[in-house]
A and B are shown apart, each in its own frame.
Chain A
Amino acid sequence: MTGWLRGVLVEICLAAALFAIAVVIAVLVDLPHVALLVRP
């Protein structure tokens, strides 16, 4: 595989990993007992 293609694939995986981290954070923040703390 050429360098640029491997680089592009890795970078797309990086962006996807960022979204995955955000999902984990959102799940943790949205857990009922956590959400109850911040909801009025």
Chain B
Amino acid sequence: MKEWRVILYYTGRTLFGFALLMVVPALVGLVEGDYSSVAIFVFSAGLTATFAQLLSLAVGRPERQLEWKHGLAIVALTWLLATLFGAVPDVLSGYYLSYLDAVFDVMSGFTTTGLTLIQHPDTISDALNTWRFLLTYVGGQGIIVMALVFFVNEVGAFKIYAGEGKDERLLPNVRNTAREIWRISLTYLVIGSLLLSAVLWFGGLAAPRAVLNGVWMFMSAWSTGGFAPHSENLLYYHNAFFEYAATGFAVLGSLNFAFHHALWQGKWKEIRRNLEFLTFVFTLNFLWIFVAVGLIKTGAYNGLVSLMRIGYLELVSAHTTTGFMSVYAGQLAHSWGNVALIGLTVAMMLGGSASSTAGGFKALRIGILWKALVLDVRRFLLPESAVVRMRFHHISDVLLTDERVKAAALIIILYLITWAIGSMTLLLYGYPLGMSLFEAASATANAGLSTGVTSAAMPWVIKVVFTLMMWMGRLEFLSVFVFFSYIVRGVFDR
């Protein structure tokens, strides 16, 4: 029980911070005179804040120090509760067929996946749209990262921070690390929103709509989320420059915050030496050869311009796990052909960088496994008595140890198992193999591309399985497993 006190106390504190976020869409509603949205968000904020405070007060301030295991469980529980409460304004808005659909959508936003079950997205209020994109933006940086900056100031905070899949310290102090992450994100928010808004304004959108769409789409791109305020997603804007710019920001969002920090410090050598960045560049271009050949083979797009604007942007969208759609789901399923679709599926699974807003295996882990393979081959080629060591560069020079290789391989195996479970669930419900593999990869890696499987009409079991997959994939499994082991122990130790 003492351990649960620690977990519940800090979960309550973090959830309280999350409740305050709901004030932002309420303010948007207030400015626009949309009082029903104001009422929805004020009620939801009050409900969440009351629950959070009661939770913290009920258990009281714990005497025990935070330990790693507590931090991991706190993260998993906070993300779960934030999703359940975050879905309240969604379901009250009337744009979801059920509470489960709203929970699916919020988890998808939070985990920067981008799969959606919303009904008539083109007609929803600006307040609700702001909420959906704010969730994506905050989820991308991390709820805990946000809480560490604004609400929690505790010794041992790194133990919570690390559970969110961002285990790199940009600066010695974890609070300063969280601040630096927000400094980078907010700087890009200003620059990116201005640029995208200007493009839309020059493209003919009225100024207020251009600004709102620019801010929302930047949040979606930077967080590698993939939500869009219109059902046609990127296609709605009919603007090539906008599509390239938005996808470019998705590339930047998928880079490691430590990499951003290093470049902002003038450490240019990272560009040619950083294992993670180089791995990402290699896999992206390697897969591009496959996708381009696949698209030429099927004759889906003729000419360089359409090949780049549709084919390459979709591949980048998949590899950065953004999920922007510059084609209709039906086209993806029926016109792209197997080679290009497999290319996209692999790209989604590989994902972006560790300690970024992206999902998937992460380029750093792929790079570590590649180095381990090279090291093993070298060991075979050299005399048995030779001691072979290998280093790789990622912000600093790091020794390749068995421990690092094991950790990277373990997470990748867990992603593959989750992907297999998701695919088999879809197959059990009669979906074709190719579509099942693609859609399950999209949910596991928090990518958000869809061949049309994800819809409000899909069985509730798939919605639940996908929601869990998105949650586990975003937190990289460990936090969720520790959380479940606490529950199992709680049940059996009675």
Residues of B within 8 A of A10 (CB): 263, 268, 271
Chain A's interface size range is 20 to 34
Q: Which of B65-73, B288-296, B434-442 contacts A (4 or more CB under 8 A)?
A: B288-296
Say how far A36's CB is from chain B's closest CB, in angstroms.
10
Q: Which of B141-149, B244-252, B366-374 contacts A (4 or more CB under 8 A)?
A: B244-252
Q: Mask for B179-205, Cβ within 8 A of A = 1, else 0?
A: 000010001100100000000000000
Does the CB pair B284–A18 fall under 8 Å? yes
Interface status of B328 (Cβ within 8 A of chain A): no
- Given A3-B266, A16-B248, answer yes or no on A39-B292 (Cβ-Cβ < 8 Å): no
Say how far B158's CB is from chain A's closest CB, in angstroms.
25
Residue in B244, B265, B293 whose beta carbon sits within 8 Å of that of A29 in the complex: B293
Interface of B is mostly: helix
Does the CB pair B252–A11 fall under 8 Å? yes
A8-40 at interface with B (beta carbon < 8 Å): 8, 10-12, 14-16, 18-19, 21-23, 25-27, 29-30, 35, 38-40
Residue in chain A with minimal CB distance to B265 = A3
- Given A3-B266, A18-B281, answer yes or no on A26-B308 (Cβ-Cβ < 8 Å): yes
Residue in A7, A12, A26 whose beta carbon sits within 8 Å of that of B312 in the complex: A26
Say how far B340's CB is from chain A's closest CB, in angstroms.
12
Interface status of B285 (Cβ within 8 A of chain A): yes
- Given A7-B260, A40-B297, answer yes or no on A23-B266 (Cβ-Cβ < 8 Å): no
Say how far A23's CB is from chain B's closest CB, in angstroms.
6
Does the CB pair A26–B263 fall under 8 Å? no
Residues of B within 8 A of A11 (CB): 252, 255, 260, 263
Does the CB pair A18–B264 fall under 8 Å? no
Extra inter-chain contacts (14) besides given A4-B264, A26-B308, CB under 8 Å: A4-B187, A11-B260, A12-B248, A19-B244, A19-B248, A23-B308, A25-B285, A25-B288, A26-B304, A29-B296, A39-B296, A39-B297, A39-B299, A40-B297
11 A-B contacts (beta carbon < 8 Å): A4-B183, A7-B264, A8-B191, A11-B255, A12-B248, A15-B252, A19-B312, A23-B304, A26-B311, A29-B289, A30-B303
A residues sitting closer than 8 Å to B (CB atoms) are 3-4, 6-8, 10-12, 14-16, 18-19, 21-23, 25-27, 29-30, 35, 38-40
